[in-house]
Chain A
Amino acid sequence: DAKTTQPPSMDCAEGRAANLPCNHSTISGNEYVYWYRQIHSQGPQYIIHGLKNNETNEMASLIITEDRKSSTLILPHATLRDTAVYYCIVRVDDMRFGAGTRLTVKP
């Protein structure tokens, strides 16, 4: 029970923004939204997290809707090295990863 829904796969052109959506319609008021990614043959890597405000760091931006039922991870200038599986996670007492979105960045 991952509590999130993500498209199974997406493509993005190199240099363009990658916008990865996530639905979390049953999110509770005190639950954070976390994003991790997993590049092939590596362990997951933390990207960003947020509660209700939009967040930005050196890797990405996180846009959370006002009702908090969905969010979008934005990679502003995708590179080939951003090809990975991206997981949107609503933190409960543990980290429940779903199947994620497989993002393929193409030249």
Chain B
Amino acid sequence: GIQVEQSPPDLILQEGANSTLRCNFSDSVNNLQWFHQNPWGQLINLFYIPSGTKQNGRLSATTVATERYSLLYISSSQTTDSGVYFCAVVQTGANNLFFGTGTRLTVIP
């Protein structure tokens, strides 16, 4: 099956800093989503981005499907950005999301 690797596994930032999270996948995909799981366990949709670049406020994402990776940028981080960020993909020919292992982000004041 498809492999989805996220890096770094853990990240600690000072409030106001910028960061880049990476997601590598091992096969072609039809769908790629980024999620934020907050400390209460809720999964929040950040981006649906099978290809290209999108921006939403302080967050942006880029997926280069031909090179099998996606990047999530967080600028001017805030303590509320803390949590786990998951990348999930739907492999071509499949029908369900396959999740990476996540990046745990801690933003300290």
Decide if A and B are genuine partners.
no
Interface residues of A (CB under 8 A from B): none
Interface residues of B (CB under 8 A from A): none
